[in-house]
Chains A and B, each alone.
Chain A
């Protein structure tokens, strides 16, 4: 089946501006799973600008499969009940530019490495930026991914989180400059 021509022009995006906090904050928004749930893992990092300064007025959104690779299709990301897996989270950066989520390790799909889909918004960023956060644990799966293979080594590294000894995931976002994060167009 072929895709018909688009009939409507897309509404363009704009920056979230400086004052988004009271508009988009909600209770436990960064808890994709409850922090004390079995298998809960901390995913955190810092957002940096082109001068290497932390960005304190950004937010990230992530969306990912459950540990068994199943895609989240149920409500519950907005009103957390602490047992439904809805797969979505949102985290503001703090005054040090750091964001944190409580997540489960997403499972890999058929022939695809495990990943979080992610979007970055910030004051000073004229439109959203899509990126991905891949899990580092299965090098073979990462090596066989055609998209990652199309990137240079240094670019690849900007998309792969680091697993810390305590099991947490560390992943910085660099909006500009050296080791600039790879951002995506679809």
Chain B
């Protein structure tokens, strides 16, 4: 029996009449101004807004009602437990997962995961995934006609140490085109999935690189409407992390946030550790 066809890739499901970059940039600016006004009038807005139509595929996928404020239940104040043994060492080096070396600019990314009080998030899982140096994802629905790299998958896993620190080695991803609007390009980025000390602190985000000219044009980065919040997703070049003749180094610290109740949970006994 023939399996049913896979759903159309993003390129085919989005609106057939596509806006220009100038339209999208104007929409982004107008949205940012409206959020600034709403905040000035006393509204409390999240850092990332769900209702951001310049990101076209969000139009039918964002909730239209306000989130309901609720006291966390016990389970929501805990987090799944992880330990060093949950990942193999090879998983934190994306450049050694194949027979040969991937093409591109080798780099080290390192940082610290803390809560908003600065306490380390220890022994928790970080998952990363990214495009290759040509801007191509290994995912089968990525139809960007840039080459796949037989020596690069682009997925890694790491566990934070007792100080909340993590490090991984990879190659710098390229920017890639998508179909949100005509001539749409995503700034180069690495996806991060982070478990905090509490389920409420769960975070999925993207790390960017300093000085990317595509920042202001990108509706996804700009779903974060404050400049200082967008800036917090840009890694910092760190020459101390750069190793001679080997890799350039970038630092990306992550702060997971939860309700006040997470202040008290942090000192609880953790699950079995590594």
CB-CB under 8 A from B238, the residues of chain A are none
| Contacting pair B78 A21 (CB below 8 A) | no
Q: Mark A120-144, 1 if CB is under 8 A from B, else 0.
A: 0111111111101000000000000
Closest to B257 in A: A10
| Contacting pair A11 B64 (CB below 8 A) | no
Q: A23-B193, A75-B81, A126-B223 in contact; A65/B75 too (CB < 8 A)?
A: yes
The docked-state distance in angstroms from the alpha carbon of A46 to that of B98 is 37
Answer whether residue A61 sits at the interface, using C-beta atoms and an 8 A cutoff: yes
Q: What distance in Å separates the Cβ of A83 from its nearest Cβ neighbour in chain B?
A: 14
Instruction: Report A51-88 residues with CB < 8 Å from chain B CB.
Output: 51, 53, 55-57, 61, 63-65, 71-79, 86-88
Closest to B252 in A: A11
| Contacting pair B191 A122 (CB below 8 A) | no
Answer whether residue B147 sits at the interface, using C-beta atoms and an 8 A cutoff: no
Q: What distance in Å separates the Cβ of B124 from its nearest Cβ neighbour in chain A?
A: 11
| Contacting pair A3 B128 (CB below 8 A) | no
Answer whether residue A18 sits at the interface, using C-beta atoms and an 8 A cutoff: yes
Q: A61-B202, A63-B199, A126-B62 in contact; A19/B141 too (CB < 8 A)?
A: yes
Answer whether residue B129 sits at the interface, using C-beta atoms and an 8 A cutoff: yes
CB-CB under 8 A from A124, the residues of chain B are 55, 57-62
Q: Is the interface of A mostly helix, strand, loop or mixed?
A: loop
What total of chain A residues lie within 8 Å of the partner, measured CB to CB? 75
Residue from the list A8, A57, A176 in contact with B118, Cβ < 8 A: A8
Residue from the list B4, B203, B261, B269 in contact with A11, Cβ < 8 A: B203
Q: Mark A3-17, 1 if CB is under 8 A from B, else 0.
A: 110111111111111
CB-CB under 8 A from B200, the residues of chain A are 130, 186
The docked-state distance in angstroms from the alpha carbon of A117 to that of B50 is 20
The docked-state distance in angstroms from the alpha carbon of A4 to that of B264 is 11
| Contacting pair B129 A19 (CB below 8 A) | yes
| Contacting pair A117 B199 (CB below 8 A) | yes
- Pick from A36-44, A162-170, A177-185 the stretch touching chain B: A177-185
The docked-state distance in angstroms from the alpha carbon of A64 to that of B199 is 10
| Contacting pair B220 A14 (CB below 8 A) | yes
Closest to A1 in B: B264
Q: What distance in Å separates the Cβ of A149 from its nearest Cβ neighbour in chain B?
A: 12
The docked-state distance in angstroms from the alpha carbon of A6 to that of B80 is 24
CB-CB under 8 A from A128, the residues of chain B are 202-204
The docked-state distance in angstroms from the alpha carbon of A79 to that of B84 is 12
Q: A7-B118, A49-B60 in contact; A186/B76 too (CB < 8 A)?
A: yes
CB-CB under 8 A from A8, the residues of chain B are 114-118, 255
| Contacting pair B260 A117 (CB below 8 A) | no
Q: Mark B53-84, 1 if CB is under 8 A from A, else 0.
A: 00101111111110111111111101111110
CB-CB under 8 A from A132, the residues of chain B are 73
CB-CB under 8 A from B269, the residues of chain A are 73
CB-CB under 8 A from B232, the residues of chain A are 9, 11-12
| Contacting pair A50 B61 (CB below 8 A) | yes
CB-CB under 8 A from A125, the residues of chain B are 50, 58, 61-62
CB-CB under 8 A from B6, the residues of chain A are 95
Answer whether residue B48 sits at the interface, using C-beta atoms and an 8 A cutoff: yes
A-B contact pairs, 15 of them (CB 8 A): A8-B117, A10-B256, A11-B203, A14-B204, A14-B223, A16-B193, A74-B81, A75-B85, A124-B59, A126-B220, A127-B204, A127-B223, A176-B60, A177-B64, A183-B63
